[in-house]
Structures are given as structure tokens and as C-alpha cells.
Amino acid sequence: MDLSKKHNIHFAGNPQAGKTLVFGHGFGIDQQSFSQIVPAFEQDYRIVLYDNAGGGKSDLSSYSYERYETLEGYVTDLTDIMAFAQGSHTTFIGHSVSGMVGTMAANRQPHLFDKLVLIGSSPRYLNDQETSYTGGFDEAALKALFEAMQTNYEAWVIGFSPMAMRNEERPELARQFASSLQALRPDIALAVARAIFLLDHRPELPKVSKPTLIIQTANDIVVPAVVSEYMERHIPGSKRIKINAQGHFPQISAPNEVIAALRSFV
């Protein structure tokens, strides 16, 4: 299997640079979501961009329900991509679910990673009463989410996009996210959503051995602030930055804020 074709891998930046940035995107979007971030680092870094299986311009023939039923399939993909890219002094920047994929990959193959950046990431979305953990969703909310996606995907997209994007004064951003979601095959979108929203990878956090930056926005419907606080407490030596941005996609809605946070860390 041609890994480059499977994940639509693109290289950017300075091929002679001794440092590498690898960007991993979240659900419903693709590598284009970092298009406003990449130029700020092109001079000093080698940059690797890719699309997750089932999304963007990845090779859909390589998507398998079985392989991607949990995040482990994505973790294997990422370690394959990292090895293929042969980066040096690599910082992995993962948005949303890719942040957790990167965390797990760095725990499995630590030699491939130097640093981790987690933007709007969560180890578990479902509240857990037994441990008093707040993830932001209860079982009824997730059941309703999956049912809405299954019953009328188009209608779900139209309702979910503005809530996730926020920035109501810039409705074009929500429209842009909606068109990205609409480009997904509804059956794959539902399978990916299940793999993400039903995950519980809290035990991965204390195992992290790499310097980690956690980026938190305001009014994130997907990942409330309490989750990033939990991650900061459980990832050894991690640093959390709250940036002046609304919603779940700051790399799209507030790129300069994300660039400033990244510069302070990488």
C-alpha cells in the first residue's frame, strides 16, 4: 500500500531544517485546516501534513470499519507516517482526536517524537460518575448525537457546524466546516464519531514522557475547559495555555493565537 497516497501526505517548509512539525487534524476536517498556521513555520521547519483514514483526500478504499473501530488503527497509521517522514526533532501537533492519537503513538514509539501539542483534545468525552470525571457528554446526549447522524446526516451537519465552530459573527466559518462534513461519507462519519466519542484513554495520560502543550479555547462544545484542566493534572510536566479563541477549531478561527502559542513552545 502506498502510504503517501493512502494518507495524501504532503511535505512543506524547509527540507534542510533540522526540526520537523507534523500536523494531525480532527474529525470532519482535513489537513487544509492548518493552511493558515503552516506559513508561519515554513522557513525554520520541515512540515508534514496528512489526512486521516476516511477523511479529506485519503484513499477511501483503505478505510476499514474493523481497523478503525477504535483509535488503535489511527495510532498505527500515525507511527507509520512518522517513520515514513523520517523527521528529526519532531513536534506532533494534534487537533481534537488526533491529539489523543498522537499521545498514544508517542507512548508506543517514543523515539519518533520530541514534543506534543494537543489542541482541543480529550481523553474521554463521556462523563464518568464513578470517578467524578466530567467529559462534557452524558450517555443520552451521545445516543441522540449518533441517532441524529444516522437519521438525517445533512440536518445534523447543519445544526452541529455552527455550534462547534462558534464565531457567530463569521458565519462563513461554520459553512466551511459544514461543507467539509458533507464531503464525508455518512456511514464513515458515524463510525468515526463512535470511535471518538466512546473512547476512554485516560490511562494513557500519566504514561506521557514528552514535553506537552495543551491548548484550550473558550466555549468549546466538544471539549469543555474542565477536560484540559484534567489533562494538565494527569500528563506529567505538561503546560496548558488558554488562548483568546472561541469554539473547537482555533487553527481556522484564530490562527494567530495558535501560532503564538506554538511559537512559545516549539
The whole-angstrom separation of Cα 238 and Cα 265 is 11
Q: Which of 96, 228, 238, 253 is catalytic?
A: 96
Q: Helices in the chain by DSSP H: which ranges?
A: 3-6, 72-85, 97-108, 139-151, 153-165, 171-182, 186-197, 225-234, 250-253, 255-265
Q: Are 112 and 138 in contact (CB under 8 A)?
A: no
Q: Of the candidates 105, 111, 83, which has an alpha carbon nearest to the alpha carbon of residue 93?
A: 105
Q: Is 179 a catalytic residue?
A: no
Q: Quote the distance between the C-alpha of residue 258 and its chain's center.
A: 14
Q: Which of 7, 95, 201, 248 is catalytic?
A: 248
Q: Are 237 and 18 in contact (CB under 8 A)?
A: no
Q: Of the candidates 153, 147, 248, 146, which has an alpha carbon nearest to the alpha carbon of residue 197?
A: 146
Contacts 24+ apart (CB under 8 A), 169-173: 170/253, 173/249, 173/252, 173/253
Q: Is 248 a catalytic residue?
A: yes
* Count of residues in the chain: 266
**Letter for the amino acid at 109?**
Q
Q: Which of 220, 228, 238, 253 is catalytic?
A: 220
Q: Is 220 a catalytic residue?
A: yes
Catalogue the active-site residues.
96, 220, 248
